Structure 1
């Protein structure tokens, strides 16, 4: 009898154990299959993705009540509750609707994946679809249609630049790839090109200091480029276009499998522009000639514990030059013909490893090397930079009210060049700069109730050259029950340790002598930001208004002084203070008839106060506006009209006798594009860029006929000196383009 009872219990246990369930079906949008959509059970490790035809299968589900989540970037997430009670095999199809408001998962504001609505830090999210409305050869140019973000050219000759956020220069913008600090320092000038756009999933933008989480340089804001996951990528994606100026750009993304547990994603970007065009007749190339190739590889390793392990790498080589149209390679570094020639070699590696512990602990790491061999006329600039970074992040949920994060970070920076910036006090002996930057940060996201959140954070870093630096922040968020109203308030402190030659291309040009006025101390700033989001749901449309007001106060700010001596660029800590303040408004309107409108405007005042005298910052507009208007005639044909407009900027002049205008004019760059989709794989697109054919004044490069100042006393007559630092927009005029995209799922 005992054996029979034991057998019944064993059989019962076996039957209970084998009573697993499954759910399968197809995911579509507007009647078309939606591949690589995430389908998972909330608060579990069970999940899958739909295949290239939109079909999914989720099996081995234990009995219980679950919430099935169906999500894909660019589409509204769907939640379905299902009760599995034993050996159920459910067939359920899902249809997702497009979400132009991009209510998706973001990580940049808190270092944790949260929905955009739930983030206490305002994060703007832009999908690859947004950037495809105005295709460009680099992410640097793609950001020109983001409100409050402006790609700024820093040189009329070599066309390098940086990204301004709310009027703050490029060194205040921290650029990340998959959350890792890779594009910074020396690469701020050159590192935003060569990122294969075929691999970009989305771009997250945070405006305002983020030093509490990301440390030095994250003062003006961060741009986080999120690449695709290998499992969610198509087997092959290509995007190639050419322009009437002769530009050729090719992007390739390839998914591959090394084993059952190892998937990879390979990306290649190639850009070439070989034509010497001089439409403004100043004797110099209007657009820098470039030859660039970038290789990207990302590997995801599936572990038994389902914990993350991702490693990636990128290599970039670029050869660019600009100058007199008859310049040749043999003139490099000579005074025969003026040219600026830059060879750049750069490698990067980064990844995330989730420790095999019961607690949620991630180790994130990155390293990069940047090597530059360049000549600016006769002035050589050779530089080498190595950066290694690592951090442990511990995340713990206490009850349902506290989401706690603790991090320990370390950053090593090696920098060496052939300028006086790395000389010993004797001015002769070279000494490379080595900086150690250990730090610890902590934050607690407190859910006061369903409608109120409070985020408290602080960071303490120790710079081996400058000592301890403390940066706290406070974020508050309120939302209505239906999330149609969201209010955010942010207050934080930022800091930045500067190396002028790694960040400001104007310092490299041979046209002016560079001087440091004393030791450069770290900059500090306090920032306050108010953000309000309102959503309306009128019939047949969705309207989102996003309003922000910002204020940043700087101490010890480091600014280039072009005006004290027109033959020099003098760098020093500001003896006073600087303020950046303004308001911005974004409007998204989506109609069911296929029309989508995005309009944004930023009004700001960026000033410098020294000796009780307030002046407007150079190369900073007081007003900027962007727009994107798209109409989908059917599922296969789309028209896009994009553009921007900028108010006047104060420009650097060579004294009171300089004949060039002190302020730039109002100007607008506008583009139009049409796209024809033949099926799920093929797309052809084309259009016109800069349809108004705007270019700066022909005399922007001062005295371009005498670039080596032969026979000129520039001390007595500074206005006669050669000067390419007067630049605010590209000299590239109107041009047509045509491109082809192919996707193999």
Structure 2
């Protein structure tokens, strides 16, 4: 049995086991239901997200604009209804056993999305208008509207950000923030720094757009939490969570002019959530095939040939009223080739850059809320393993084949405490520790090139933010 088949089998067994365990939990019959309206038109709004703040519980309004939470633990909750392009609305609700409470929402359009929640500025959920640093958001809706196949196709639609294609043969891309080179910017996956130097070469095109919930871009070194790797800025990729039961299959076909250089892209999304919202899984996949493109007819590509497949899943399990376990895994296999004579082996071309990646990435996070949710502890670990077979050569050189292995592993913990009054106004204290390990082994046998590198990074951070709705002060190290 292959590794991929084994992982898939284990995932299915775990999902079924978790589902059965969750469904067997005690039934309180404490329910909340209602609808969401557009404040200007009075019409019901399908697809709105209604979530219970400071928990992992969320629901999406159905085709008639209604939502329901079932079998909640009796008590008081703060509900928030939100929709892209609208200001969110919050309401306090108290529910008891064997009782159904109706709570309705009416939300208003917000063209600037200043009330959208972001996490990049301080690693805690903060509304954009209250964020200590300017955070721009690239939404899943924008990625869909611009026809983006990958992250690289969508980042250009952010102010102060430019995606460059710096090699017509291999298609190497880098993101420039405030004009600085790509290595001055930190790329994060769900706030985790698992993008290594090797992965970052082609990584912007290896992240499918259909797995992205939003991308938060912070220009400049606006926070002490990201260290020296984020001098130019930070790009934080937030992946989608399961919210409701749904499935979607899509296929797009694009062409550069009428040249016949086609880009076929097939995507799959599926979301499954238990009725009591205690467990859920989001599955995503992409298969893409792009032809090489020669713009001036000289026989050498300006756009590299590309074939890639991605399959992944993100799941959560609510282990208690105030705790949650989140797991994510995805695999990407990508082949790209540029230069001339694409129908011939790489060593038969005058110029060829050929790269074959196989990437496995995973993440685990455990969240615990304490003291009536005034304290939040998050323990996390993430890893990414990359195998690369490559050819970089010219003049039919048979010695330019190489292979590279790259492993990134990191783990840590973060503690957050909300304080009613610290010195002169309400504050939020964030403290954390992280450890990161990166091992790179690059070999080109024909050139007697063999490099091994191990990097160990230990870090700690402490940040306090004073905020009262009108003023905010941030100090960190």
Q: Distance in 2 between matches of 1:390 and 1:28?
A: 42
**CA 74–302 in structure 1, closer or farther in 2 if over 3 Å, else same:** farther
Q: Distance in 2 between matches of 1:365 and 1:140?
A: 26
Counterpart position of 2:200: 188
Counterpart position of 2:250: 239
2:309 to 272, 285, 293: 293
1:341 aligns with 2:354: yes
1:52 aligns with 2:52: no
SS state of the match for residue 212, structure 1? coil
Counterpart position of 1:364: 380
**CA 456–84 in structure 1, closer or farther in 2 if over 3 Å, else same:** same
1:78 aligns with 2:99: no
Asked if 1 retains the 8 angstrom alpha-carbon contact of 2:250 and 2:268, the reply is: yes
Counterpart position of 1:391: 412
Q: Distance in 1 between matches of 2:320 and 2:139?
A: 32
Kindly report which structure 2 residues correspond to 1:530-541, keeping only aligned pairs within 5 A, or say none. Answer: none
Q: Distance in 2 between matches of 1:58 and 1:267?
A: 25
Structure 2 stretches lacking a partner, 5+ long: 1-27, 256-260
SS state of the match for residue 225, structure 2? helix
1:148 aligns with 2:167: no
Q: Distance in 2 between matches of 1:151 and 1:22?
A: 47
Q: Distance in 1 between matches of 2:142 and 2:148?
A: 12
Q: Distance in 1 between matches of 2:301 and 2:332?
A: 24
Counterpart position of 2:11: none
Higher helix content, 1 or 2: 2
> Number of aligned pairs?
425
1:432 aligns with 2:457: no
1:175 aligns with 2:187: yes
Counterpart position of 1:417: 442
Asked if 2 retains the 8 angstrom alpha-carbon contact of 1:333 and 1:376, the reply is: no
2:33 to 21, 24, 29: 24
1:99-133 Cα deviation digits (max 9, x unpaired): 33222110001000111111112111121122223
Counterpart position of 2:8: none
Kindly report which structure 2 residues correspond to 1:495-574, keeping only aligned pairs within 5 A, or say none. Answer: none
Displacement, 1:58? 4.6
1:69-97 Cα deviation digits (max 9, x unpaired): 32234421113466889998554433333
Counterpart position of 1:256: 272
Moved more, 154-163 or 109-118: 154-163
1:319 aligns with 2:339: no
**CA 120–373 in structure 1, closer or farther in 2 if over 3 Å, else same:** same
1:97 aligns with 2:117: no
1:340-383 Cα deviation digits (max 9, x unpaired): 11111111111311248655211121100122211122333422
Q: Distance in 1 between matches of 2:459 and 2:427?
A: 23
Asked if 2 retains the 8 angstrom alpha-carbon contact of 1:28 and 1:34, the reply is: no
1:200 to 209, 212, 230: 212
**CA 25–151 in structure 1, closer or farther in 2 if over 3 Å, else same:** same
Q: Which of the pair has more CA radius of gyration? A: 1
SS state of the match for residue 230, structure 1? coil
Asked if 2 retains the 8 angstrom alpha-carbon contact of 1:173 and 1:217, the reply is: yes
1:305 aligns with 2:321: yes
1:403 aligns with 2:428: yes
Counterpart position of 1:351: 364
1:265 aligns with 2:301: no
TM-score (norm 2): 0.80
Q: Distance in 2 between matches of 1:46 and 1:246?
A: 42
1:385-421 Cα deviation digits (max 9, x unpaired): 111011110111223322111111100110111369x
Displacement, 1:431? 5.2
TM-score (norm 1): 0.53
